[in-house]
Structure 1
Amino acid sequence: MTKHLLLEQATTGDGGTTDVLLADGRIAALGPAAATDQRAAGADRLDLAGYLLLPSAVEPHAHLDKALLARRAPNPDGDLTGAITAIRAAYASMDEADVRSRATEALSTALTHGYTAVRSHVDVGTGIGPRALRVLTELRSRAAGLVDLQLVALAGAPIAGAAGRHNRRLLAQAVELGADVIGGAPALDPNPTAATRVLVRAAADAGLPVDLHLDETTDPQMLTLRAFADEVARQGLGGRATASHCVSLGQQDPDGCKEVCRALADSGVAVVTLPQTNLYLQGRAEPTRTPRGLTAVTPLRDAGVTVAGGGDNWRDPFNPLGRIDPFETAALLVAAAHLPVADAWTAVTAHARIALGLPPVALLPGSPADLLAIRASGLDEAVAGASQDRIVLRGGRVVARTSVVHDVVPALEKEMAA
């Protein structure tokens, strides 16, 4: 158990300020009751005047094994095919020490920026096998008190039929090594629908959730989401199934889109949209009337589907950008998916938690004390400005803090004031 901690004068979402008492890893009391609670007498105190206090962020879709590889594994064409080619060529250089170093750096950055839970897909197919997964299971154990790390075994292709035997064996090995979730990219298989069914059944057989890369294309003819929803319902995986990317859903006619959205809602499938990577990769073949590389965020939400937002690739061949920052993802969802700021933040917090099967966090007594304080007067300023001045709490204790000093040349300051 951590020592009790009293957060003083924190700004809340409604613009007011409050004290918050943290005890035994949870929020014990808020407002006047926090300071008068007997546990506050011996508590440490943290002045949060000028900071907005929020639930901590959750990254529902990352690739820690590939993180920070962009310079070493360039993708000159900038498209998905080029990225896949580049990462496969980089496998030989991705030894355990290399994966450990890059993944640790990326995960540390994520924590500093406010993520207290991360789901990372990890390649386990031909060419790399269990090497990266083995390293990341060790990192998961080392980071357990700081970040809740979920590992998705990203199966290689092909996975279906006789040609997929080797990759199915590697996937089974990944489960034995401790993968938390079954994953894969059915579009890379000669028969995407068959691959989708194989992977969902593998998850059901292993008693694990499933999270697939689906329909990562603006081609409306590629649509395996309906088959995924049907198989999830058939295998009883509702509430433990996630479809990531789902770009081609945004290219369907309105009625067809609504029908698929209803099927996803009925089967209990969450959707993770990944704005930065998909805006970067998709639509390059169409220089005019370029399709937007996003799923149908609004129709999905209207249908009652849980829609989470993720960063996906952090500076690798699939995306040379990525600040590993929930405020960056939220800002992209505002600009590209036209979500209100509050809904965009929900996508990287509450909805991401639902997608990962994590308990909810809120500024309420009894909630887990996984919190993020950022210097801002409100959520609009926090998402727009993304100040690096942040304090991250996990289980009621401070696990990361970044302080920012702004120093303006005195003469310039006078000029600006004139």
Structure 2
Amino acid sequence: MTPSFFTPPGAAGGRYVLRRVRAPRCLIDDPVAASLRPAGDGDLVALDLAIADGRIAQIAPAGATDAARGPDLDDSLVLPGFVDLHTHLDKGHIWPRQANPTGDGAGAARATMQDRTANWNAEDLRRRMDFALRTAYAKGVVAIRTHLDSQSPQAEISYPVFRAMREAWAGRIALQVSSITQVDVFLREEGVRLADIVAESGGNLGCVTKSQAHPQEPVPPEIDEAMVRLFRLAAERGLDVDLHVDESTDPRARSLIRVAQAAIKQGFQGRILCGHCTALALQTDEVIAQTLAACREAGIAIVSLPTVNMYLQDRSLDATRTPRWRGVTVLHEMKAAGLEVAVAGDNCRDPFYAYGDHDMLDTYTQAVKILHLDHPFGDWIRAASATPAAIMGLEGRGVLKAGMPADLMVLRARSYSEMLARHQWDRTVLRTGRAIDTTPPDYRELDDLVRVD
């Protein structure tokens, strides 16, 4: 078992208090939050957290509870389990057998297509997805939304595997699914069949804003017609929409505003989430303002994938050239414009990202540095916790709230500074109030699937 700096008293179902801890005020969903004493940097406050029968029983000012009922944690941080809003569990951990030789988006797409065609049977998917979920569980992640490559016939293979994994992991990690395919698929009968598969799986209807017919066009000529069709298919089935939008270094990629305009025109009432949107950062202030106004009117939420987009974008095959930009969207402007914004992990050890470990605390830590979510820290930590939980419709997740399961991360760090400066390898992860084994699964488990001798 990975060392942790403390073990809570008692077994599951016990009653105890995490005494003298700190937490971000913005993550405390309780009337007591306003009265808690500031402690440390950012919006951290001092509190006692009472646990009973596997749930948060009470949030109280530090020192207000019976000292005999639990350990004094000396100002350690307590955080709710984090939420990964945008992943690709079907691609994960194929890097050893299918690397990306160029490290860019085009190379990733080619490599993934080759591996999908050759290897993505039900058992291959099941084992790699289970490996990923066990890793995320050990890191303290409580909910994940995964995209599934949905080209026919892959959809018929992948969605039954996902449904089985969702059932197997119920009560440990809440799982949601979104489709991903090219936008023009929804102009054909294949798109109707896919919408039915997604509905059968209780998922979200999605695609990339690129087309099979015009792969080199920054905005495909059929996007308006295709988006109208997608929104209609989603509305008819009561589905929300989750899209990959303008994941590009080309400032001509302006699909986001077209998505918003289509949603407004259709009067779409479901949730809409758009991921990446990196090209927007390369456009003029006027275009950005117009796009964000349309997104606000359409009710679009945004998720940024900072580690993956920094890895892929502005990469040169010339080893003497350094990348010139961060490859992330205008998240500060989006938040200021009133949009819900989140960060997520995206790919893990596959051609789109050679690294990663399904650790949303690490994703948030890197996002702070990449996107400058500091000076001040403000309530940006909600982008990895409360906001994605709300977008996923998970009531009470991503916050500290009495009555909710005590699914928590307890860190030795006492401040944002300490948390962000050093990897929290010794965190204690609580599930229903009980410390779990935080040892991640060994990569050797997948050797027979992915090793190339």
Q: TM-score, length-normalised on structure 1?
A: 0.85
**1:304 equivalenced with 2:330 (yes/no):** no
> Aligned-pair distance for 1:267?
1.7
Matching residue within 173, 184, 190 for 2:197 = 173
Matching residue within 64, 68, 78 for 2:103 = 78
Q: Which moved more, 1:80-89 or 1:57-66?
A: 80-89
**1:290 equivalenced with 2:303 (yes/no):** no
2:119 corresponds to: 93
**1:9 equivalenced with 2:55 (yes/no):** no
> How big is the alpha-carbon RMSD for the aligned residues of Structure 1 and Structure 2?
2.7
Please give the secondary structure, in 2, of the residue aligned with 1:172: helix
> Structure 2: how far apart are the matches of 1:26 and 1:237?
37
1:264 corresponds to: 295
> Structure 2: how far apart are the matches of 1:315 and 1:48?
35
> Aligned-pair distance for 1:4?
4.7
Please give the secondary structure, in 1, of the residue aligned with 2:428: strand
Matching residue within 412, 418, 427 for 1:390 = 427
> Structure 2: how far apart are the matches of 1:7 and 1:358?
26
> Structure 2: how far apart are the matches of 1:369 and 1:238?
33
Matching residue within 389, 400, 406 for 1:353 = 389
**1:222 equivalenced with 2:222 (yes/no):** no
Q: Which amino acid aligns with 1:166?
A: E
1:74-223 matches, within 5 Å, as 74-91=99-116, 92-156=118-182, 158-161=184-187, 164-176=188-200, 178-189=201-212, 190=214, 191-223=222-254
Q: Which amino acid aligns with 2:21?
A: T
Please give the secondary structure, in 1, of the residue aligned with 2:303: strand
Matching residue within 87, 91, 108 for 1:66 = 91
For structure 2, the 5+ residue unaligned runs are 1-11, 24-38, 215-221, 441-453
Q: CA offsets, 1:179-212, max 9 Å, x none?
A: 4211111213433333333322222121011110
Q: Which amino acid aligns with 2:407?
A: D
> Structure 1: how far apart are the matches of 2:225 and 2:316?
28
Q: Which amino acid aligns with 1:142?
A: A
For structure 1, the 5+ residue unaligned runs are 405-418
> Aligned-pair distance for 1:55?
1.6
> Structure 2: how far apart are the matches of 1:124 and 1:403?
33
> Aligned-pair distance for 1:232?
2.7
1:370 corresponds to: 407
Q: Which amino acid aligns with 2:233?
A: A
CA contact (8 A) 2:280 2:330 kept: yes
> Aligned-pair distance for 1:329?
1.4
**1:52 equivalenced with 2:52 (yes/no):** no
1:335 corresponds to: 369
Q: Check 1:56–1:342 CA distance in 2 against 1; reply closer, same or farther (3 A cut).
A: farther
2:6 corresponds to: none
Q: Relative contact order (C-alpha < 8 Å, sep 6+): which is higher?
A: 2
CA contact (8 A) 2:87 2:144 kept: yes
CA contact (8 A) 1:272 1:310 kept: yes
Please give the secondary structure, in 2, of the residue aligned with 1:31: strand
Quote the sequence identity (%): 34
Please give the secondary structure, in 2, of the residue aligned with 1:358: coil
What count of residue pairs does the alignment treat as equivalent?
Answer: 394
> Aligned-pair distance for 1:130?
2.1
Please give the secondary structure, in 2, of the residue aligned with 1:362: coil
Q: Check 1:81–1:165 CA distance in 2 against 1; reply closer, same or farther (3 A cut).
A: farther
> Aligned-pair distance for 1:167?
4.3
Q: Which amino acid aligns with 1:390?
A: R
CA contact (8 A) 1:390 1:403 kept: no
Q: Which amino acid aligns with 2:209?
A: P
> Structure 1: how far apart are the matches of 2:64 and 2:54?
15
> Aligned-pair distance for 1:222?
1.1
Please give the secondary structure, in 2, of the residue aligned with 1:152: strand
